[in-house]
Chain A
Amino acid sequence: MDTATFLLSLVLAQTPQADLRCTPTGEDFIYDCTVTLARGGKPLERAEITVGADMPSMPMAHSVRPSKARPGTKPGEYHFRLDLEMLGEWAVKLRLGGPVRDQLTLHYEFDSQGATRRK
């Protein structure tokens, strides 16, 4: 394997990184969210994202019906709406399809102001 192929394989092997921002819609426990995906320092485009969420201590009891995220205007940006059952910590799950197949789990604390990353 030459150096270029090796470096390329390293970049491709890198786990996608996600950053989530959510704002309350004004309706109880419903948030409009934007996730920014990157891999190897570059925006991850053309990803097909299915978003779900559950509460870590009750993974099968409190869960959110999965929905598809839609691409935003900026590269690597995707929008979706989260309809939660209550405030508190939620594990937001992004199942990625398209150029990358993976699943990312993001822990956020949801309150009346928005969402704050926990882990």
Chain B
Amino acid sequence: MDDYAIGVLTNIGLFSFLALSAYLLLVAGEMSFGQQAFFGVGAYAGGILTALYGWPLPLAALAAMALGALAQFLVGLPTLRLRGLYFAMATLAAAEMFRILFELFHWRVERNGELAGPDGTQGFRGIRWIFEHGIEPVHYLILVYALLAVILLLLVWVERSRLGAVLRGVGLDPELAASVGIDVQKAKLGVAAAAGALAALGGVLYAHHNTYIEPRNFDIMLGVHSLAYALIGGLGTAFGPLLGVLLDIGVLEGTRFFHGYRMIVFGGLVAVLLVFRPRGLLDERMVLWIRRRFS
């Protein structure tokens, strides 16, 4: 496999975490334009722990996930009381606040005779854990997909459990869910924390793949894409967002001959798709049809 293929596949894997994070909230009935903030929290936290304090990557990833979960839980406390467009706007505003915080964030520590760490708008260079530990790009690719497989198995298990039914109920009709004794606010806060942890895990892996991060990496474009992944791929199963990422990056890579115009072509394709399949390609009906066909 050449460097290009490894790079594209790694990107698909990394952004799948973000897509799954947006998907979790969509299943619970909330449209978040702000998952890039928690992706950024994970990237900065993981980068600081490995590059400045010498933590091993697995431990740093766990700590970053906990921080991502906490951050989205705290954002969710006031914002999840809002509905629909108001919640979407609140998440966008919160994400922009995080991005500005990253721009103001300076944490410079001397490492090997050089200053390292987040330096506001100058970014955060030298997140070299994978280079220092001799991890080849193809091995990192395997690590990303192994983690993604674990997350997917977990999500499929949750979807088939009572908890999954509760979450879909909360997402489809919160009033009805509340009337049968489900604490809707508590359920949504739990989903928000899980979504924050997932996005943060993606962020940690992204930072270590890239070795450099900066606040602009976590702006609104990433949030829009993460939501688009879930909406294009479909809300019927956790595999939907993965299909969305695959199509997004696949179409973008496959339309290189359009040069700078490919984003316009891509935007048009997304619009057409959402007109004909508003809940994505793998929506609930399609998943049911597939299950009946193959069971």
Contacts and interface: CB of A to CB of B under 8 A. Distances in A.
Interface size class of A (residues with CB under 8 A): 20 to 34
Interface stretch (A31-39, A54-62, A108-116): A54-62
Interface string B165-207: 0000000000000000000000000000000000000000000
Interface size class of B (residues with CB under 8 A): 20 to 34
A52 B7 contact: yes
Contacts of B113: 10, 13-14
Contact of A13 (B11, B15, B112): B112
Nearest to A91: B212
B134 to A, nearest CB: 7
Nearest to A95: B3
B259 interface: yes
A66 B253 CA distance: 12
A119 B4 contact: no
Interface string A83-119: 0011000010101000001110100000000000001
Contacts of B131: 101-103
Interface of A: 10, 13-15, 29, 50, 52, 56-62, 65-66, 85-86, 91, 93, 95, 101-103, 105, 119
Given A57-B221, A61-B252, A65-B4, 16 more contacts: A10-B112, A13-B112, A13-B113, A14-B114, A57-B217, A59-B210, A59-B222, A60-B249, A65-B256, A66-B7, A93-B210, A101-B134, A102-B128, A103-B128, A103-B212, A105-B125
Name the 8 nearest CB pairs between A and B, nearest first.
A105-B212, A13-B112, A56-B216, A85-B260, A103-B211, A86-B260, A57-B216, A101-B131
